[in-house]
Amino acid sequence: MSLQGAYAALQHDLDLSTRRRARLRRDHQLPPAPQRRPLPRPQRWAAAVATLIALQDEYRAWLDNLPTSLEGSRLAEKLQTIAELDLDELQAIDIPRGYGRD
* Angstrom distance (rounded) from CA 83 to CA 88: 12
Q: Which residues contact 52 (CB under 8 A, 6 or more apart)?
A: 87, 90
DSSP 33-52: PPPPPPPPHHHHHHHHHHHH
- Number of domains the chain is built from: 2
2 pLDDT more than 80: no
Q: Which residues contact 66 (CB under 8 A, 6 or more apart)?
A: 75, 76, 79
30 pLDDT more than 70: no
| One domain for residues 55 and 79 | yes
Question: Which residues span the domain enclosing 57?
Answer: 41-92
69-101 per-position pLDDT tens digit: 999 999 999 999 999 999 989 888 888 877 766
Instruction: Report if residue 101 sits inside a domain.
Output: no
Instruction: Report if residue 14 sits inside a domain.
Output: yes
| One domain for residues 84 and 48 | yes
Please tell me the predicted confidence (pLDDT) of residue 32.
Answer: 66
* Angstrom distance (rounded) from CA 26 to CA 89: 55
pTM over 0.85: no
